[in-house]
Chains A and B, each alone.
Chain A
Amino acid sequence: MQWAIVIAAFLASAVEFVEAFTLVLVAGITVNWRSAIVGALAAVATLAVIIATLGVTLVTLVPLDVLRFVIGFLLLLFGLKWLKNAIQRYSGLKLLHDEEAIYATRVAEARARGEPVKTGLDTFGVLLSYKSVLLEGLEVAFIVISFGGSGPNGIGLAALGAAAAGVLVIGAGTLVQAPLQRIPENTLKFIVGIMLTTFGTFWSGESFGINWPFSDLFLLLLALIYLAASILLITAMKQLQSRTALATTSPKTTTLSQK
């Protein structure tokens, strides 16, 4: 019975930790690690205050659905903006963005002026990391309280399971982040746009009481739906661009050939 509590809390919390860590990773790789870590630590501190103040009554006092709605809505706004920019770049409607080249130029300019290089906090990075860790952290707290209430010393055992899941996910994520850094910037932004839109849809849907099929596994299916739709949109926009280009150049070609 006691092992059942530890294992159940471990498995359920691992899913939440993976969701939170994914977005921290996104903030770390695409913005900077300082912002991602500050956001995550701030969320952990907020969680500590909430849990220390409310304790077990957390389950009844924190409106998790409201939190899911607000965070889901914001992630949808962010995600669609990123996805739109990425699709525009891939379809040729916008110039491809070479962040590394821009960064190198800025660093060189700053050095030439004798200014220190800015690697400070970025509001977007901090906020993205903060809200995902806060929401998922609260869900882990709910899991610990719900599973822990079913036996003697239950909360301690469930917390042990959750902590083990946290250590495992963070450890695995640390190993994964190095190869992720090698992905080209535009590809990464495209993936991030899809991920933010996926999480935004999932959480805002849950806030309305939508029971997604296959539970959290539906996140993968949602990501595939958005990926397929984005690829279709890129193809359609490329065709539209080439048709427009042909339409604008063909009269000139005709007149030239007539001459």
Chain B
Amino acid sequence: MRIILKVILAVYNFFVGDLVILIGVSLTMVILALIHSLDALAPLRGGSGAILIVGVLATLVATLGREVMRPKA
């Protein structure tokens, strides 16, 4: 069990290492998937490129914001 956790942690650290980035990018992808699969959200499809860029930038701002707010050791 401990080895599996270690492997998961190593994979996570290699690919992301930052929970805010993982959540932000995943959330943006989920929103895009919903826009492109739900008919009710079809009017937003034209702006999905802008939504993706804004999502990426918001993720960057959020992760940097967390670093700024983090108390210094």
Contact = CB atoms under 8 A, between A and B. Distances in A.
Query: Are A and B bound to each other?
Result: yes
Interface of A: 69, 73-74, 76-78, 80-81, 83-84, 87-88, 93, 123-124, 197, 200-201, 204-205, 208-210, 212, 222, 225-226, 229-230, 233, 237, 240
Interface in B19-58: 21-22, 24-25, 29, 32-33, 36, 48-49, 52-53, 56-57
A80 B56 contact: yes
A208 B21 contact: no
B60 interface: yes
B13 to A, nearest CB: 10
A18 B68 CA distance: 37
A208 B33 contact: yes
What secondary structure prevails in chain B residues at the interface with A?
Answer: helix
Nearest to B26: A73
Interface string B55-72: 011011101100110000
A208 B63 contact: no
Contacts of A83: 60
Given A76-B25, A77-B21, A80-B59, A205 B16 contact: no
Contacts of B60: 80, 83-84, 87, 229-230, 233
Interface of B: 14-18, 21-22, 24-25, 29, 32-33, 36, 48-49, 52-53, 56-57, 59-61, 63-64, 67-68
Contacts of B67: 84, 88, 93
Contact of A240 (B53, B56, B68): B68
B52 A77 contact: no
Shortest 5 CB-CB distances between A and B: which pairs? A210-B49, A80-B21, A208-B32, A76-B25, A77-B16
Which of A81, A209, A212: most chain B CB closer than 10 A? Answer: A81
Contacts of B36: 208-209
A205 B52 contact: yes
Contact of B56 (A81, A124, A197, A212): A197
Contacts of A209: 36
A118 B60 CA distance: 34
A81 B16 contact: yes
A201 B57 CA distance: 11
Contacts of B29: 69, 73, 204
B25 A81 contact: no
Contacts of B22: 77
